[in-house]
Amino acid sequence: MANLTNVTASRRALFTLIPVSLAAGLTYWLSWRTTGSKASLCTTMTTEPHNVRQHPTYWFNDGSIVVRSRSMSNKEVCFKLHGSLLRRQSRFVQRMLDSEISADSEVLIPPELGVQVQDLTALLEHLYHDTPLSAQAPFSHVAAILRVSSPDQLDLPGVHMSARAYFVSMFPQGPQPFAHPRNHLEEALALAHSYQIPSIRKGIYYSLVTTSEFEPEDDDLDLENSIKSNGLPGSSSTPRLVLPPTDVKRCRSLMTGIVEHFTPVLFTPPATPHMACTDVFADKWMLLVITPAISDSGVCKPLEMLEQIKQIDWAAEGLCVACVREKTQEWTQEQEDVWEKMNSWLNPEGTKQSLV
């Protein structure tokens, strides 16, 4: 009797487990069929937990698609996003969702596109209005969105056009003096080359020559070679970008042209139609112009130095009104001449193509 009871109990347990197992199996199959086995990897994190992770911010429970991308450390990051937003904005997402190679609810960003997780995160910060593009946005944010929205990456035409406009606004041009983001000049020049923005390149070259050490050092070259061979180093700091040889050659040519042209202008007191005004320049030029220029490397900064000269109160130093007006116009014209001559200085003999 006891054995019969045990058999009966076992059969009841078996009949109870069968529908439960079938239901669990059906649920798993439906989940796999809907999101794909790879998407479930992002959801459960049970396989390769050290190489795959959900993004801490852009994983929405009500999201309709999973976007997978690799970070700079070669770890895969998954985003669960709202498909209608991405499909409307991104031609790449449209193509992937409409293709047969992509599951209905998953987009895999091919590594060869070069999309970095940091750039994709910046794009989502803009699309979800957490950190939208604006005139106050930092360079790194604008540059990231410019890259990831480009036709070569996720192809968001409207966003790319907006990012390009903000990027250009960060780099005003001469002949009046201007200020650029000093810590990002090499990256800015590379972006201007990549996305064919010639209108700002001349000013960036000028800033490189006048405010930075554009010549690559041995440590920079060693680091660049290491990155090319092994990927980014483990350090959290961003390595200094190294200018390619063609850009270094242009910078050298620009510096040589500036110094050769501006040295006689800077170190020669100007003449005037009036002897008394000419004597003022002869007496004051060393103190008011040459000495400050020597202390601040003014010979390499013609636009800024000429502006400083214009701002001196020459009338208070003894110049007549007519001479002050005449010389101010001449110094303004000299700024324009320098800016124009830069076109030839930036295209030294031996460069492959004209820059400006």
pLDDT the model gives residue 239? 54
How high does pLDDT run on average in the chain? 83
Asked whether the predicted pLDDT for residue 352 surpasses 80, the reply is: no
153, amino acid identity: Q
pLDDT the model gives residue 14? 35
Query: What are 16-28's pLDDT values in tens digits?
Result: 433 444 344 444 4
Cα–Cα distance, 87 to 155 (Å, whole number):
11
pLDDT the model gives residue 241? 80
Alpha helix (H) residue ranges in the chain? 2-44, 83-89, 91-98, 117-127, 139-148, 157-169, 185-194, 201-211, 218-230, 245-267, 275-285, 291-295, 302-311, 314-317, 321-345
Query: What are 69-90's pLDDT values in tens digits?
Result: 876 667 889 999 999 999 999 9
Cβ contacts of 281 within 8 Å, gap of 6 or more: 269, 270, 271, 272, 319
Query: What are 184-240's pLDDT values in tens digits?
Result: 999 999 999 999 999 999 999 999 999 988 888 755 444 444 444 444 433 334 556
Rg (CA), the chain: 32
Query: What are 306-336's pLDDT values in tens digits?
Result: 999 999 999 999 999 999 999 999 999 999 9
Asked whether the predicted pLDDT for residue 29 surpasses 90, the reply is: no
Distance of CA 75 to the CA centre of its chain: 22
pLDDT the model gives residue 71? 67
Query: What are 274-294's pLDDT values in tens digits?
Result: 999 999 999 999 999 999 999
Query: What are 32-46's pLDDT values in tens digits?
Result: 344 444 444 454 443
What kind and span of H or E run contains 52?
strand 52-59
Q: Give the predicted TM-score (pTM) of the model.
A: 0.79
Asked whether the predicted pLDDT for residue 131 surpasses 60, the reply is: yes
pLDDT the model gives residue 8? 42
